[in-house]
Each structure stands twice: as structure tokens, then as C-alpha cells.
Structure 1
Amino acid sequence: MVGEVRGVNRAQLGAALRALRQASGKEAKSVARSAVMSASKLSKIETAKVAPSAADVERILTAIGVSDEVKAEYLEAVRAATTEATAWRLVRRMGVHKAQQQTRALEAQMTLLRLFQPALIPGLLQTPEYIRTILSRHDLGEDVLARTISARIERQQALYDATKELHFVITEPVLRWRIVSAVRMAEQMDSLASLSRLPNIDIRIVPLSARQQDVASHAFVIRDDRTVTVETVHAEMIVTDPRDVALYVHKFDGFASMALSGDAMRALLEGIRDDFLREQEIS
């Protein structure tokens, strides 16, 4: 059956998704709502007016309730296009808060996450003040900003789901990058230390003192060894070819192997926190 699905084009894929939905007896509005997209977008996907991403197809199939076997077959078909890119201007047009909701839907389905971040505290680990400062730079407008902050905070519920295994590798300069005030940065360090004690979370820090064997060129997120999300200046890219995903897994493992973890990692966080607190006292 995999061979039958692999060669589908956009029209065939759209028709197949529509047939699966109709066979399930579920209405388009219900499937669209569960897939975190508009009914209009679902209609355009089903009628081949819009090319769905792998994430779109996965959310639709999950909402329909197909078997894991059927889902795997159709995802293999859509991954024939190995890399998808969505410009940030299109994300803003859609609504940044909706993008956060879509990411939350992906995170709800995954069981293993590996995230490498050389620039910012990962969104799932950010304190509310850190989140507000980061998102405020996008000129969203107060209403959209509030909804986007709320959506990101809601995503953090995944941290407390014992069925998920979450691994974070952060470079030390991220912890010293002055995103918020010194006292707020100190709070962020304490939050990271606290979260690192959760049994399903592994937070590691690549120290500046470590001899580097690789280049921390950009952030990326690996979900279930199946997809990689890469954020660039102009767009977000989704990588799905297994050969490319394996490259990112190898890169992640390399940085994780030289990073501090456990008590050593928390000792580094404590030292950085104390530096921020001393700076606050002096000022």
C-alpha cells in the first residue's frame, strides 16, 4: 500500500484526504478545528488549491483519526518534498498566535523532542517576562501580542507531560544574552534550574570553556526523529527527508556530548544568576 501512495501529486493527495475525512463521518469544520486550521484552508487543501505541509497533513490525519499505518503512508507521500519553507511575513499574515497553536498541536502528538538553541532560551523554557520581551519585537499589536504570549505559555504544559521526553541543548552565551533586566535574567536562570529537575526533561549547556568541534550555526528542533524545524532570518523550514533529519540528530548528539548536565549544569546556572544579581545590586 505504501507504494500506491508514494507517488501522489497535490490533487491526488487532496482528494485522498477528503475521501478519508468523509469515510470517517466527520464534518470539515470539526476536522479543521482539531487540526488547528481554518475550514477554508482545509477546503483548499482538499481541492488542491493549496499545497499542504507535512505538519498540515499530520494534523489533518490525526484529526480524522486514521490508523498509524495509514498516517505513515500518507506522510511518506507528502515528504517527497523534503524541505518546506514558510516566510515569516506569511506567518504574521496568518497570525503569530495561530502559529503558536499549530506548534502546540505538533508538540501534543510528539513523544521525543530534541532542541538546540545557540541564540535564545527555548520558547518552552522561557519565563513570561522573557516571552513578552521576545515577542514585543515583532510589532504585533497589543491584542495579538497578548494572545501570542498566552498561546506560548499554554504550549509549556507539554513540559509536565510524563509521556514526553524533552531534551534541550543551549550554548552558554544564550544565558548571558541580555534579553530582559538583570533581575529577570536571574529569575530565568532559576526557572531553568527548577525545570531541569523534572524527570522527563534533560537540559544541557555547552560551556564557553569547551573545545568546540562543530559550529553552532542556527537553532533547530527535532521531533520524533521524523521532522526538523529550522528558523532562519526570513523563514521557518521543515526538513523531513530521513537522511537530512539524521544529520541534525548527529549534530545535536555532538553538542550534547560536550555539554554540562545535572548538578554541573545547575552550578553554572547558579553562577550566572549570581552575576546578574550582583549587577542588579550595583546598579
Structure 2
Amino acid sequence: MSSSPSSSSSAQAARQHLADQLREIREDADLTGRKLAELAGWHGVSKVSKIEHAARPISPEDLRTWCRICGVSPGRTEELLAELRAAAGMWVSYQQLNRRGLKGAQESVRERYERVRLMRVYSNKVIPGLLQTEGYTTAALEAVRHEQTVEVNDITGAVTERMERRRVLHRADARFVFLLEESVLWYRTTRPGVHAEQLRHLLSVMLMPSVLIAIIPRTADRTITGWGVWPEESFTMTDFAQTNVELVSGYLTITQPEEVAMYVSAWERLFSIGTIGESAKALILQAIEALPSE
């Protein structure tokens, strides 16, 4: 089972890589940390030390000051600023993500869905966004707004954005594979009518040529590896370059190849005990039949 810290090794490695480069730049300029702090007008040497040990993030303004004092070229400075932005974007709290409202948060990931060639989604909690109906999405985002205390009330716009995003499932040049724990089909987080509509929608999406839906039965033998195939946190893999994990406190983007590879391995373990086709359809029908009437 993989852990799910708010600051993964990917995010920490990116911060440390930038910090190491800044230390090398200072040393190449033949400056001590104390002298750099003095020239920058920073009080004491502790700020330089904390930045170089990735104990505190450097601001874009301070990075520009660092590069100017050390004689770094404008082109190299821009490269470091881009790396800073990338490192900062690996971990985003929901407060940051939802600053412009839920609609803005939905719009911020649009390009990733439009450019992906292979998307693999594992979910142990909810129906994945691309598979959601309007009613289910509305209920889900209303819960998000309440739980994350989002002040902007733009549920309608956010739902519209997510519904429009579903058009990517019609792309002939892309493949979307969804792996759900069977329990996701049974979690009664919406009204029975909304729930039933959502499950029926899964049955229709299963017929799309670009989509494969697999379900891990609750009765699946998870001991086939000898040490057990345990459930993981929900995650989305975009091609083979990026994995995103939605945690309770924020949104994690993983890009370190070694860590991405860990999620690929987790996907392969989990997918090996999933079922597809008529077997998966039967599990969905069972969940529909068990719903109470409204």
C-alpha cells in the first residue's frame, strides 16, 4: 500500500533540486551565504540556509534577486523561475485550488483532458468525473463546496464545465480506462433516483469505443500475489508522465519518474483482479436493483 502524504517525495525532490541549483549558483559566484544575504538586504544568513536546504520556499522576487547578485543570465533566470512555478504547482491545497471558485478549479485542468492520449483512473470512493451525470456531479460539488468552505457559489458553472469535459470521451485518438472498487457502486451519497441514473449512465458509457470500465468485485481474491492486493488512494494517471492524487487536504501532482512508476505498478496489481464486460455490467445491475424506490 502506498502512503499519501500532503508533501510527496515528488514535490520535495523538485524543491530540493531547485535549492541545490541555487546553492551551486552562489558557490560559482564565489559568495558565502552571509555575503549573499548582505547584498540582498536580507537579515542574517538563516534565510539563505533555509532556501538552500529546501526548508522554506523561495519567492519569485527573491529568486530574481539571487540570480542578479550571482550574475545569472536572464535566460537561465527564466528557466529557474519556470522550475519554481512547476515545483510550487505539485502540491495545491483546496483553498488555493478553489480560490476562484469551483468553476475555476474545473477549468484549470481542462487542457490535461484535451491533450491526454491514455488516461487511467482508479477510484475507491466516487464515480470518476468523466463518468458522472449532471445530477451526480451537482451533488458531489455541493458536498465539496460545503466541506471545503468555498465562498463562491458557482455550482451551476462548475457542473456545466465538467459536463462539457465529457466530450473528450469521443476522441478517436485517446483511450480512457476506469477501474472502480465495487463499493463505489453502492455508496449512497445521493438520492436513489440520482444514484440509479448514474449507474445506468455507466452502462451506456461502457459501450463507447474509447472507454473501458473495469470493476474490482468486493468478493475478489486479493491474495493472488501472496501478500495481498490492497486498495489504494484514488488516483489518475495521464499517459506515463503524470499522476494526480486527490487527498483530503489538497491536490497532489506527481511527475518524478520513479514515483510515477510506483503508481503504474499499483495500477497493474489492482487491474489484475478487476472484471470487465458482462461481468462488470452484472455488478452494476445488482447495485441498481438494490436501490430503494423514491
Give how far 1:149 is off.
0.8
1:103 matched to 2:109: yes
User: Are the structure 2 counterparts of residues 225 and 123 from structure 1 closer, same or farther at C-alpha, using a change threshold of 3 Å?
Assistant: same
Give how far 1:50 is off.
10
- Asked whether the equivalents of residues 83 and 241 of structure 1 are also in contact (C-alpha less than 8 Å), the reply is no
State the match for 1:240 in structure 2. 255
Give SS of 1:93's match.
coil
Which consecutive residues of structure 2, in runs of 5 or more, have no partner in the other structure?
Answer: 1-16, 23-58, 64-78, 223-227
- Which aligned pairs between 1:1-283 and structure 2 lie closer than 5 A? 48-49=60-61, 81=87, 84-137=90-143, 138-139=145-146, 140=150, 143-212=153-222, 213-276=228-291, 279-280=292-293
Q: For the residues of structure 2 that align with 1:249 and 1:131, how far apart are their CA atoms?
A: 28
State the match for 1:43 in structure 2. none
TM-score normalised according to structure 2 size: 0.67
Root-mean-square deviation over aligned CA pairs: 3.0
TM-score normalised according to structure 1 size: 0.69
User: Are the structure 2 counterparts of residues 147 and 82 from structure 1 closer, same or farther at C-alpha, using a change threshold of 3 Å?
Assistant: closer
Q: For the residues of structure 2 that align with 1:168 and 1:101, how far apart are their CA atoms?
A: 22
Q: For the residues of structure 2 that align with 1:220 and 1:184, how far apart are their CA atoms?
A: 24
User: Are the structure 2 counterparts of residues 49 and 120 from structure 1 closer, same or farther at C-alpha, using a change threshold of 3 Å?
Assistant: farther
Q: For the residues of structure 2 that align with 1:79 and 1:229, how far apart are their CA atoms?
A: 17
Give SS of 1:94's match.
coil
Q: Please list the CA deviations of residues 98-157 of structure 1 after superposition, one character each: whole Å capped at 9, or x if unmatched.
A: 121121111111111000000000011011110010111214568511111111111111
Which consecutive residues of structure 1, in runs of 5 or more, have no partner in the other structure?
Answer: 1-6, 13-46, 52-72
Higher relative contact order (CA 8 A, sep 6+): 2
Q: How many residues align?
A: 217
Q: For the residues of structure 2 that align with 1:244 and 1:79, how far apart are their CA atoms?
A: 20
Q: Where is the helix percentage greater, Structure 1 or Structure 2?
A: 1
Q: Whose Rg is larger?
A: 2
Give how far 1:77 is off.
6.1
